[in-house]
Each structure stands twice: as structure tokens, then as C-alpha cells.
Amino acid sequence: MSQKKNDAICSMDENFAQWYTDVCKKAELMDYSSIKGFIIYRPYGYAIWENIQNELDHKFKETGHENVYMPLLIPSGLLQKEADHVEGFAPECAVVTKGGLEELEESCVIRPTSETLFCEHYSKIVKSYRDLPKKYNQWCSVVRWEKTTRPFLRGSEFLWQEGHTIHATELEAREETLQMLNIYRETCKNLLAIPMVTGLKTEKEKFAGAEETYTIEALMHDGKALQSGTSHYFGQGFAKAFDMKFLNPSNQLEYVYQTSWGVSTRLIGAIIMVHGDNNGLILPPRVAPIQVMIIPVRSQVEGVLEKSREVEMQLRKAGIRVSLDDSDKTPGWKFSEAEMKGIPLRLEIGPKDIEHNSCVLAKRNDGTKLTLTLDESLSTNVQEQLDKIHEEMYERAKEHLKKHTTRVHSKDEFVDALENVGGFVQAPWCGDEACEQKIKEETTATTRCITEEQPGAEETCICCNKKAKHVVNFAKAY
């Protein structure tokens, strides 16, 4: 990691929370609005989200999903149709009571999530097995009135996608749930350079109304986990509440099997806290709005700006997202700005470089520099460096995850690992919600997901010492 040179942000080692909000603001990702928890996504932050959207949208369509747009408002009565669901969401809803100067007969809530709307629509349009599956997705914002808010991590409004699918068979719905989990994991790996820990949520932690919730969990630099996306299998719960039936090939009425899945702008929070350092953001190249920032050195010298523009055009033609900073700021100022914004490569061109027909590339992720020849090979070489940076960032994050994952067998080991190592602590658990709750109260660690590992035959729950049922990833979490 580069040495801290920038006083505009707090040191991450001194105060990680402050460092985080400093980076959010100083890298111009967001700004606060006058309503608590409702942030402004500034161009640089929104462009990251657009890159995530493009990649996911492509993957969704490739796997046969279609985009739709459902209403922003849900009648209060509709939200109440599925008991667990309303219990989970009603306390966080924003309620519209007036429209066009008149009191509404029935109040509405701004969607906190859209299961109920999709269910109502599906129940109208699906009659037969020939109409199945329906695999819809929606890009939108949702509102959940939160008491404690932090940019990208927990907001009263956030941007996300919500997929909602219905199927003729349980098998197909379960496959869909896992397929989407896999798309999330792979996208986080290949686009964001973030390794994800995946698995089932416990009963206590699952989504309100789901039969099973799968999660992707990332490990932040400070050793805390961040739930970064979920994929739910609903079984026929909502189908029964909303009367979503279809005629099967034997002409019998059956309830559909359902899934939903979503990721949000929380992923931007994950990028910041997995990759950032004391000089600001470090963006994985494939999601970076600007991959290469060209900074002319001694740009008043004849030929420097011309050459810089030439290089800019060459890289742009090769499909590289490049920008040229030809403002009248000093190169030092420009370097520091490019660092704060986490631009993967800084390309310096000065009179000396032009003389040697070369330019200097500085890698944001590890601070190293290299010299490249200014000829037709430049764009290929730059692209190679971008790919290399992606791999390096992914490997570094994986290493951090590995170092901060501890398998324990007793309460003492558990507490020790949690306090002295941090990250994920994998511990045997009896499956009892009371133990889960007790551990949370005593240590603030929560169950992130159930691992695939089977506990040993003799292993016992770290809390109650009864026979262990699962090995669970515990962590302190955002």
C-alpha cells in the first residue's frame, strides 16, 4: 500500500468509519441531501453504478430475464397480504397519505421492495404452464426509513435491482435461486475484484417471507463483513397468499414456485472498503469510470499537449476509458486528485518522455511505475496492465480474506479469533436461534452464512455445547 500523502481524508487506521465517509465525499462519489439517509449520487459514483448495471443487465438478459417497471407505490392493504413480509417491512415504510391536495382513502407506502406488486401482476397474467416461467427484473430505487444511515451502506433510499421469478416446479425455482447467486459471485469476482463468501442465511437472518435466503458476503479492510447481495427461494408462500396458480400439463391447478434476488449500490461501499487506502479510492479497472488518466507534464512545452491528445485518441479507439487532464492545475495536484479518485493508471507525458518516445505509467493499486513505448503497441500494453491490476487486486483481497478467516471449535477460540484476528470466524453451532442471539449479544458477531462444511461427529455448539448441526461463518458486520 502506498504511503499516506493526502491530508484531505482521515487515516483508515485511526478511524475507519471517518476514513470511509471522507473518501465518499472527497472522491466525489456522493453528497448529502437535506433529508437524512437520502444521498445524491454524483457523476463519478453514479458512473460506477452504471458499469455494475451494464454488466449485470447483460448477464440477466443472457439468462433469459426481462426488465419491467412496477409502480413506485404499494397500497397499504396489498403489503399486508403475506404475514412475515409485512411484519418485516411495515416498520420501515415511508407512507403517502395525501395526493393532489386530498387525503387518500387508502394510504400507500413507497416500495421497500416489490414482491407484493410482482405477485399481484403475476397472479393476473399467468394461467397455464405455457405462461411459465416468468423471469422479470427491475432497476429502481427503494425506500426503507432507517434510523442510522451511512452512504451506500445503509440509506433510507438506495438504488438496486430486484429480480422476481415464478416457475412451474420447485426444482426449477431452486436452480434459479442458485444461478443468480452464482452470477452475483462471479460478477463481484470478475468486475469488482472482490472474493465473496457465499452460503445460506440462518432462519433468524433470512428475508421476510422467504423459505431460504442465500447471501454473498464480502470482508472489508477493517475485518467486518458486508452482506452484498441476496437470492431468495420463496417456495409457495407468496403464491398461496396471492393466489398465483397455473394449470399444469395434466390440467390441474398448482401454485407457482418463486424466487427473488437483488444487489444494490451497497456494492459501491464494498469496493471502497475492500480496496481503498489512505490516499483514497482504488477502483478495480473494469468498473472504473476512468481507467487511465493522462497527465501532461510541462504541458506548456510545444508538442506535449498534442502528444497527450494523440495518446488519448489511441487509447479511446481501443475501447479504454481514458481522460486527459489538461486543466491549469499543477501536475502534483492532478496526481493527488487521480489518486483520491482511485483511477487505476496514471499516464504521464513530458518533454523528456516524448524525446525517448515513451511515457510513464503509475499503477494506483501498488504505487509502482513502468515505462511504455509510444507506438502502436501502447493500447495493448495498457490493456494488459489493466487486466494485471484486476488480478493483483483480486489476489490481495483474497489473501486478506484468507488471513482473516479462522476455524474454531470452542467459545474461547471464538472470542479470541473475533477480537484478535477479526473477519470470519467459522464455528460449530447447534442450529438453535437462542444460541445465535446469545452470541450476538455477548460479542456483537452475527451469523453471516452457513458453510458447506459438515461439523465433526464430536463437535458441539460453541454456545450451548449441544451437538453441532452446522459450521457457521460468524462475523461482526455492517
Q: Which residues bind its own copies (CB under 8 A)?
A: 31, 33-35, 38-43, 46-47, 49-50, 66-73, 75, 78, 90-101, 108, 110, 117, 120-121, 124-125, 130, 136, 140-141, 143, 145-147, 156-157, 159, 327
Q: Least separation, in Å, of the C-beta of 95 and its own copies?
A: 4
Q: Least separation, in Å, of the C-beta of 453 and its own copies?
A: 39
Contact 467, 460 (CB under 8 A): yes
Q: Least separation, in Å, of the C-beta of 286 and its own copies?
A: 19
Name which of 150 and 400 has its Cβ closer to its own copies: 150
Q: Least separation, in Å, of the C-beta of 387 and its own copies?
A: 25
Name which of 41 and 257 has its Cβ closer to its own copies: 41
Q: Least separation, in Å, of the C-beta of 110 and its own copies?
A: 7
d(CA 389, CA 80): 49
Per DSSP, the residues of 332-363 read: HHHHHHHHHTT-SEEEEE-HHHHHTTEEEEEE
Q: Least separation, in Å, of the C-beta of 463 and its own copies?
A: 32
Contact 92, 61 (CB under 8 A): no
Name which of 242 and 414 has its Cβ closer to its own copies: 242
Is residue 169 exposed (0-12), middle (13-18) or buried (19+ Cβ within 10 Å)? Answer: middle
Name which of 1 and 68 has its Cβ closer to its own copies: 68
Bridge partners of 189? none
Contact 447, 429 (CB under 8 A): yes
Q: Least separation, in Å, of the C-beta of 386 and its own copies?
A: 21
Q: Least separation, in Å, of the C-beta of 185 and its own copies?
A: 26
Name which of 75 and 223 has its Cβ closer to its own copies: 75
Name which of 110 and 153 has its Cβ closer to its own copies: 110
Q: How far is CA 300 from CA 16, 295, 312, 352, in A?
A: 41, 13, 18, 13
Name which of 124 and 352 has its Cβ closer to its own copies: 124
Q: For residue 39, what is the DSSP state?
A: E
Per DSSP, the residues of 237-264 read: HHHHHHT-EEE-TTS-EEE-EEEEEEEE
d(CA 228, CA 226): 6
Name which of 118 and 207 has its Cβ closer to its own copies: 118
Q: Least separation, in Å, of the C-beta of 162 and its own copies?
A: 14
Other CB atoms within 10 Å distance of the CB of residue 154: 16
Q: For residue 297, what is the DSSP state?
A: S
Of 393, 353, 389, 397, which is closest to residue 374 (Cα–Cα)?
353
Of 107, 105, 104, which is closest to residue 90 (Cα–Cα)?
107
Q: Least separation, in Å, of the C-beta of 93 and its own copies?
A: 7
Name which of 85 and 121 has its Cβ closer to its own copies: 121
Residue type, 317: K
Of 261, 165, 269, 231, which is closest to residue 449 (Cα–Cα)?
231
d(CA 25, CA 335): 18
Is residue 155 exposed (0-12), middle (13-18) or buried (19+ Cβ within 10 Å)? Answer: buried
Name which of 39 and 216 has its Cβ closer to its own copies: 39
